[in-house]
Amino acid sequence: MLLKLLYTRGSLHNLPQNEGVAFSIKNRLDTVTLTGVARVRIGDTEIPADKIQVDMGGGERRPASAINSNGQAIELPVGRSLMFVLDTPALKEGMHPVQVWFSTDAFGDLHVEVEDAIVSPNNQKPRIPRSSDDDYSEAAIAARQRFAEQFSEKEFKHLKHYSFDAHMLQGNCEHFVGVAQIPVGLAGPLTVHGEHAQGDFLIPMATTEGTLVASYNRGIQLLNLCGGVKCTVIGDAMQRAPVFVFADARGARDFGRWVEENIDLIRPEAESTSRVAKLQYIDTYLSNKFAYLRFNFSTGDAAGQNMVGRATFAACSWILENYKGSKIEHFYLESNFATDKKASQINVMRTRGKRVVAEAVVKRDILQQRMRVTPEQLAYHGQVSNVGAFISGANNNGAHSANGITAMFIATGQDVANVSESSAGILYSEVTPEGDLYISITIPSLIVATHGGGTGLATQNECLQMLGCVGRGTVNKFAEIVAGVVLAGELSLGSAISSSDWVSSHEQYGRNR
């Protein structure tokens, strides 16, 4: 089942000028050494090793018959691709069964059997220029810029200008052509009393929405006048959720019990792929004849989606090899149960990323003077809003936490699509016995990083430096700051709506005139 993942579907094709047929394999499993290629069969045609060449890239080809364990093996780390070039007549259009017999140092003789298709090349669309040697060189980028201008019949004066070495974008952006300049405004400084973030922090916010920075700045001033905001990270877990399919529900149930009993054997397999990822626990959810496993990892300063994907794959490889119960009919590494890039109730209940709480006590006199509302007005408004959020099925009973989160995500190089999960929020307020306002927000699935992804890019890293969130062990500090900013935004917009200042503020600051 796993070996089929080595074959790159869609790679089967006829070579030009009747020079044969080719397809690709890519190592998506674990680092191995290819020690032999015995033969390939396509349909009823068998191609022996002396009719096969292995293209290793960079113009280097090796006869399959010369690959052996005595010094002629091919190192195949995770992520490397090899093209098999077959000396055989061209294939007709349509589906073809493909079988490959080969051997590796770790697993011995292996056999892969898949189906792939030959499709007629009928795409006459112009193709975006790229360079196989260096796609981030000035020449490659300039070729794409010219292509974009010629294709659109427009001249781009701003898109093409940037201030960093484009080579640093490898792993972050393909077909690079330029930059979208998003305005960055400053709010704060915000006084944070966290376990990791302690002190005053200037907040960079990247946005094109008028009044957003001003609104957050207003909420920050209010919090500062009341002593600042208290922030606490109360949970940390990143998930990958594979599914195992059985013939019936009983097989799925028994498998779930086996996983629970063997967690101590599964954990080292998962953690063998990374020095950072640590498997905390596995949740098992059963439905119909399916067993959904929700692997929960800690991932250090990285957001960790790719990290936990590889770790979970290693764990599942061990499970597939060692489970001796009912036959596993199908396996998928992601079942859509981790809800990556999607809001979900399970994230609210069980945490995805960081679970962080920001809370403050806002003094009555300061609230009335600065926001023109009373604690009672805001607390009652919150009750009414709870009903609206409930009947609409919203993932947040607050006002607009996604605004502050998105603005900070763009400024600091986070994966902005994770706002889908991170926008969930649980807002609570009450009037204290002293007549002040206690207010807090729980962000149950805040996915942030201070290492990896886009956090090392030029302007993004500078914004993280502004926050003091560069270096080992800073991700929880960043999470606390984000939560504090979110609470400031809830206070500001909630007060504006309660006092009917919302429309007039947008009219004054938020329109292009």
Strand partners, 391: none
Residue 419 · residue 406 · CB < 8 Å: yes
The Cα 426–Cα 322 span in angstroms is 42
How far apart are the two ends of the chain, measured CA to CA in Å? 61
Both tokens assigned to 284: 């098992």
CA angle 352, 355, 359 (to 5 degrees): 155
Residue 297 · residue 281 · CB < 8 Å: no
In residues, how long is the chain?
A: 513
- For residue 472, the 8-state DSSP code is T
Both tokens assigned to 386: 């709870």
Which of 87, 209, 254, 501 is the catalytic position?
Answer: 209
The identity of residue 508, as a single letter, is Q
Q: Where are the alpha helices (DSSP H) in 373-513?
A: 375-392, 401-412, 419-422, 458-466, 475-498, 502-509
Longest dimension (CA), the chain: 88
The Cα 242–Cα 340 span in angstroms is 12
Considering only CA atoms, which of 419, 458, 448, 384 is closest in space to residue 163?
458
Residue 84 · residue 99 · CB < 8 Å: no
CA angle 72, 77, 79 (to 5 degrees): 130
Both tokens assigned to 274: 């990374």
Residue 45 · residue 88 · CB < 8 Å: yes
Q: Which residue has the tokens 């018959």?
A: 65
Examine residue 189 and say whether the peptide bond preceding it is cis (omega within 30 degrees of 0).
yes
Helix (H, G, I), strand (E, B) or coil at 308: helix
Strand partners, 292: 243, 285
**Which residues neighbour 226 within 8 Å (Cβ) at sequence distance 6 or greater?**
360, 361, 362, 363, 366
Residue 12 · residue 117 · CB < 8 Å: yes
Annotation marks residue 248 as catalytic: no
Both tokens assigned to 98: 């493909």
Considering only CA atoms, which of 209, 203, 142 is closest in space to residue 176?
142
**Beta strands per DSSP E along 43-107:** 45-48, 52-57, 60-63, 74-76, 81-86, 94-104
Which of 301, 359, 415, 480 is the catalytic position?
Answer: 415
**Which residues neighbour 256 within 8 Å (Cβ) at sequence distance 6 or greater?**
284, 286, 291
Annotation marks residue 30 as catalytic: no
Annotation marks residue 506 as catalytic: yes
Provide the phi-psi class of 304: left if phi over 0, else alpha when psi is between -120 and 50, else beta: left
Catalytic residues: 209, 415, 506
